[in-house]
Amino acid sequence: MHNVSEQKLIALDHAHVWHPYSAMGSGQPVYPVVSATGVRLTLADGRELIDGMSSWWCAIHGYNHPVMNHALRAQMENMAHVMFGGLTHPPAVELAQQLVSLTPASLQTVFFADSGSVAVEVAMKMAIQYWHAKGQPGKQHFATLRHGYHGDTFAAMSVCDPVTGMHTLFSDVLTRQFFVDTPQCRFGEPCTDAHIAPLAKTLEAEHQHIAALILEPVVQGAGGMRFYSADYLKKAHALCHEHGVLLIFDEIATGFGRTGKLFACEHANIAPDILCLGKALTGGYLTLAATLTSNNVAETISTGKPGLFMHGPTFMANPLACAAGLASLQLLRDTPWQQNVQRIAHGLEAGLAPCRAFESVADVRVLGAIGVVELHHPVEMETLQPRFVDAGVWVRPFGKLIYLMPPFIINEDDLATLTRAVTSIVADLS
């Protein structure tokens, strides 16, 4: 297949390969990547693109990193995979220990899964099983925020925004959850009683039916790239405790430094009962996710009926993926990631600031290594994507949003090229 021409490769792709959020036979452009190093993707036609997306936010160390490559080669010599039922192995145990040491102190147990969506499914099942073991089987629903996104599997879809989300087609078959208005207090601002009132009202009225509140702390990702007050998290945490509702933080997109803190919950200095991690966990090398919880939740589930947690992925704790996770965490420790994220934040703020003057732009916002240009109207992907490619950058807008989440290793020149491309193309839209 490596010797197939670019045209033949694209033709075969269009004929047989179904891409995310796409239609077969649509003819939408796809760009064959033949290699990737650092922050650059090399296309089959020889063009190089500066990656502004970190491959959907996971390749925080860039591509083809020698430390990551070495770790995977070394693990491959021992074993690529072994079942996790009844067996264990050093990479999984060590990675679990490191995740426990890095996350809030109350989180002491780790359940490994294959993807972020599955980590959310696991978290939701944990919450339901917890209350069942506590003799409250009626607590089988969830409270969540509008404009949230938690994945594409069935339970995860049920807590994605039912109106603006991507899953309205399935609304009649999804479990009905309790949706709360999106926080109107922006990041850095206080959260007033009026801001928290919709959540307070929902939990007070429905807590007997609610197993947990699930939300993306500080940053709502694919549901709208909204940044909201860390103070809201503090108040939400207190309300959950008051009403006997577990708190689940979905940090699949925000974990491992993206917001400027190692985990976004650190902005509020609070701990959830259950924490979902994924994406950057392996530095973008292999799919792996983790759901962490407290000893209290784990022991309650384990001592209640049926006496075990009812989930077990075939590729759970895959040794190669765990080795990638260990190498990625080592790279974070060995590099000044906080300074890099701060440097990226300054570059994004300076580079995207001119967009504020354009008529087509509703808002420009930056938090950590996340830069967002929100437009008044949705973009046309079919026309916009090729323009970014022609500009030498990989940026994939969605809805009304053009956003950047570059790898932490990006330098000032490449970051400036990214922001110039965004600013130029947004200027033309105006």
Cα separation, 119 vs 305, in Å, equals 22
Q: Is residue 314 part of a domain?
A: yes
* pLDDT for 264: 98
pLDDT by residue (tens digit) across 79-100? 999 999 999 999 999 999 999 9
pLDDT for 21 = 86
**For residue 299, what is the domain's CATH number?**
3.40.640.10
Considering the domain architecture, whether residues 269 and 327 belong to the same structural domain is answered as yes
Give yes or no: residues 269 and 371 share one domain. no
Q: Looking at residue 137, what is its pLDDT?
A: 96
3-state secondary structure of 179: strand
Residues 352 and 254 in one domain: no
Instruction: Residue 414: give the domain boundaries.
Output: 31-64+337-429
pLDDT at residue 169, as a whole number: 82
Residues 138 and 208 in one domain: yes
Q: Which of 334, 350, 372 is the last residue of a domain?
A: 334
Judge whether 394 and 49 are in contact, CB under 8 Å.
Answer: yes
For 67, counting Cβ atoms within 10 Å of its Cβ (0-12 exposed, 13-18 middle, 19+ buried), the class is middle
Low-confidence ranges of the chain (pLDDT < 50): none
Listed in order, strand segments (DSSP E) in 123-209 are 141-145, 178-180
Distance, C-alpha 238 to centroid of its chain: 25
pLDDT, position 89: 98
Structural domain total, the chain? 2
CATH number at residue 377: 3.90.1150.10
pLDDT of amino acid 381: 85
Q: Is the pTM of this model over 0.75?
A: yes
Q: Are residues 295 and 351 in the same domain?
A: no
The closest of 352, 350, 429, 344 to 387, measured between CA atoms, is 429
Strands 274-277 and 219-220: unpaired
Residues 173, 283: one domain? yes
Give me the pLDDT at residue 258, please. 98
Verify that 283 and 394 share a domain, yes or no: no
Report yes or no: 164 and 224 within 8 Å, Cβ to Cβ. yes
Catalytic annotation, residues: 21, 149, 250, 279
- CB contact set of 35 (below 8 Å; sequence gap of 6+): 41, 42, 64
Point out the domain boundary residue: 286, 318, 334.
Answer: 334
What pLDDT shows up at residue 124?
98
